[in-house]
Amino acid sequence: QSLRNEIEVLKRINHKNIIGLKDFFETESRLYLVCDLAEGGELFEALIDKGFFNEKVAAQLVKQLLEAILYLHSKDIVHRDLKPENLLFDSKSEDANLMITDFGLSKYIEENDILKTACGTPGYVAPEVLMKTGYGKPVDMWSMGVITYVMLCGYMPFYGNDAAEIFKKIIKNEKEFEKEDWSEISSSARDFVEKLLVTDPKERMTCAEALNHPWLSNPGETDLMKSAQKYFNAKKAL
């Protein structure tokens, strides 16, 4: 069912920062999707291969993702499962586009619609999903806050021994900006993250507001290779 959902969404969209659906076909027992070839690989793996990653590059990548999300939201599509593993580069070149993939959980939403289904990935899921108060497009912005946080420091803002512990921290918004990891990161970058990781979805930055945030036009130059390596190693260990 999630593949059929993905087909329905991808058939209707076309953006350089979103994986493209070329074709699909079905046998008696299987459904196949033919998508763009993402030769550049997953976000963090690719960054490590490139051997260079700083705050400026992070801001450029975040901007690409926000432009794709703005496009999706303008089409009344909520992705609902944004995370680094669903972000792929289209090539290995220096100016490669970062693409959003995996639309299996994505959903069309009318202007005043409220979604209720609990879905997403622990650690990236927004508090309103967990609190079952109904949700909409702002859940993607929360996930972007988590992704940006991870890009900048190399670990998750909300972590625990199991999903229940992680969910509890998300609901209480118990995140920390550890001094040893954040002292060299620009205050503008931290402000950007804090304005996305806001519990009340009505107070959270929208995609348009995020694209106008000063960090994207004037980021710091802090080297983030250690952060990328930290996250990649942690994922490999799992």
The structural domains of the chain, ordered by start, are 2-237 (1.10.510.10)
Q: How many CA atoms lie within 13 A of 220 on its CB side?
A: 16
Residue 49 has pLDDT above 80, yes or no: yes
pLDDT in the model for residue 222: 95
Catalytic position from the list 23, 81, 113, 162: 81
Confidence band of 238 (pLDDT split at 50, 70, 90): low
pLDDT (tens digit per residue) in 174-201: 998 999 999 999 999 999 999 999 999 9
pLDDT in the model for residue 234: 86
pLDDT (tens digit per residue) in 51-104: 899 999 999 999 999 999 999 999 999 999 999 999 999 999 989 999 999 998
pLDDT in the model for residue 1: 66
pTM: 0.94
CB contact set of 68 (below 8 Å; sequence gap of 6+): 15, 17, 18, 99, 100
**Nearest-angstrom CA–CA distance, 168 and 185:** 27
Confidence band of 214 (pLDDT split at 50, 70, 90): very high
pLDDT in the model for residue 236: 76
Residue 148 has pLDDT above 70, yes or no: yes
**Nearest-angstrom CA–CA distance, 166 and 234:** 17
Confidence band of 235 (pLDDT split at 50, 70, 90): confident
Share of the chain above pLDDT 90, in %: 72
pLDDT (tens digit per residue) in 3-43: 888 888 888 899 999 999 888 888 988 888 888 899 999 99
CB contact set of 86 (below 8 Å; sequence gap of 6+): 100, 101, 102
**Nearest-angstrom CA–CA distance, 81 and 70:** 15
Q: How far is CA 176 from CA 78, 122, 127, in A?
A: 28, 18, 16
CB contact set of 167 (below 8 Å; sequence gap of 6+): 122, 125, 130
Amino acid (one-letter) located at 49: D
pLDDT in the model for residue 110: 78
pLDDT in the model for residue 72: 97
pLDDT in the model for residue 26: 87
223 as an active site residue: the answer is no
**Radius of gyration of the chain from Cα atoms?**
17
Q: What are phi and psi of 115, to 5 degrees?
A: -85, 150
Q: Among all chains, which residue has been given the structure tokens 């693409």?
A: 99
Structure tokens at 79: 């992705």
List of E strands, the chain? 21-26, 31-35, 41-42, 77-78, 87-89, 98-100, 107-108
Q: Among all chains, which residue has been given the structure tokens 């763009």?
A: 36
Q: Are 20 and 14 in contact (CB under 8 A)?
A: yes
Confidence band of 232 (pLDDT split at 50, 70, 90): confident
Reported as type and span, the H/E element at residue 55 is helix 55-74
CB contact set of 221 (below 8 Å; sequence gap of 6+): 54, 55, 56
